[in-house]
């Protein structure tokens, strides 16, 4: 009988304060969706790091005609110099895993295929040079190769793809942290809204609370419906946010990006399933604590 009474009180409270409950649902949904996006963004950066750092290459650019690199003096690399450079790279076998030679025609063809839908590919043949592409056993050993090869006759420059990737990853990390920071502000707004909702609800039902107090109802019986109304609205908002996050990853990442950009790695639905229980339980705990603390201050029983 007591349980049935509490359940009916919760249902009546949600119906009478529907607009407030909807406000809590919306604010919670937006804040948790932004938080989920931020977490997925960080997970995506980690996934791309694991994928690309195992594939980063050191590019040893050789000299070409009319090159602007000071080490080339405007002259292309000779066959003898090319042989010496390759021999020196092969001597670094403890550090170097694989060595690939790529002519300037092959480099341009690869560039044109990769950017076939970009205006860059239609701008006419750009300047390309022959190069050696070197896969390292440890991506952090770039300096070993650079210090040995850079400055050799016929070598224009030594480029580390990892440094270029780190700039991209820094940008992506910044965006994901910005989403998390914005979600934190939204969480603060949700806490304030929950507190205000509890206060207004307690004030509007002060007569019922007084009657319950006179007939000997316990503190738990009086406070429990208020708390559960808030928790239910917050959990509904968090659940909707996770549904939106699931849809974003399912159709935006797995369904579109991973099939369009096949030369990189993306997060999957498993990453979403990993954060869902933590976010929903966290929201429930936050709503529970916020409503209970507010009731202790503004609902004297």
Q: Which domains does the chain have, with CATH numbers?
A: 2-52+171-298 (no CATH), 55-165 (3.30.70.3040)
What is the token pair recorded at 53? 């750092």
Distance in angstroms between the alpha carbons of the first and the last residue of the chain: 22
Q: Provide the residue-wise pLDDT of the chain in tens; the chain has 301 residues.
A: 455 544 555 555 556 666 777 878 888 888 889 888 888 888 887 787 766 666 677 888 888 877 778 888 778 888 888 888 888 888 888 788 888 888 888 877 776 776 565 554 555 455 577 888 888 777 677 778 888 888 888 888 888 776 766 777 777 778 778 877 877 787 787 777 777 776 666 665 555 555 555 555 556 566 677 777 788 888 989 999 999 999 999 998 888 887 877 767 788 898 999 999 999 998 888 888 887 777 666 555 4
Supply the pLDDT for residue 135: 81
Output Rg (C-alpha) for the chain, integer angstroms. Answer: 31
Is-contact 246 275, C-beta < 8 A? no
What is the token pair recorded at 179? 């989403």
Supply the pLDDT for residue 59: 84
Supply the pLDDT for residue 5: 46
Supply the pLDDT for residue 1: 40
Q: Cα(38)–Cα(43) distance, rounded to whole angstroms?
A: 9
98 strand-pairing partners: 135
Burial 168-184 (b: 16+ CB within 10 A, else e): ebeebbeebeebbebbe
């Amino acid at each position: 009988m007591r349980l049935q009474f509490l359940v009916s009180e919760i249902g009546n409270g949600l119906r009478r304060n529907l607009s407030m409950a909807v406000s809590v649902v919306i604010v919670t949904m937006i804040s948790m969706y932004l938080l989920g996006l931020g977490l997925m963004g960080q997970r995506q950066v980690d996934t791309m790091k694991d994928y690309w750092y195992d594939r980063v290459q050191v590019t040893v650019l050789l000299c070409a005609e009319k090159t602007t690199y000071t080490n080339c003096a405007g002259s292309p690399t000779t066959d003898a110099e090319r042989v010496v450079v390759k021999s020196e790279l092969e001597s670094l076998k403890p550090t170097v895993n694989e060595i690939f030679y790529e002519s300037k025609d092959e480099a341009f063809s690869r560039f044109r295929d990769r950017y076939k839908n970009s205006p860059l590919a239609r701008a006419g043949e750009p300047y390309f040079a022959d190069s050696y592409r070197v896969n390292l056993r440890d991506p952090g050993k770039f300096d070993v190769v650079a210090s040995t090869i850079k400055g050799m006759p016929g070598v224009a420059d030594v480029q580390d793809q990892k440094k270029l990737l780190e700039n991209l990853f820094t940008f992506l990390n910044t965006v994901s942290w910005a989403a998390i920071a914005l979600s934190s502000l939204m969480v603060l707004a949700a806490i304030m809204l929950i507190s205000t909702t509890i206060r207004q609800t307690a004030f509007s039902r002060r007569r019922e609370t007084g009657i319950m107090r006179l007939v000997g109802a316990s503190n738990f019986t009086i406070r429990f419906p208020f708390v559960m109304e808030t928790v239910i609205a917050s959990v509904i908002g968090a659940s909707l946010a996770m549904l939106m996050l699931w849809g974003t990853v399912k159709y935006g990442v797995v369904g579109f990006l991973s099939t369009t950009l096949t030369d990189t790695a993306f997060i999957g639905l498993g990453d979403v399933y990993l954060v869902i229980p933590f976010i929903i339980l966290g929201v429930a705990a936050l709503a529970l604590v916020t409503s209970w603390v507010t009731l202790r201050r503004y609902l004297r029983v």
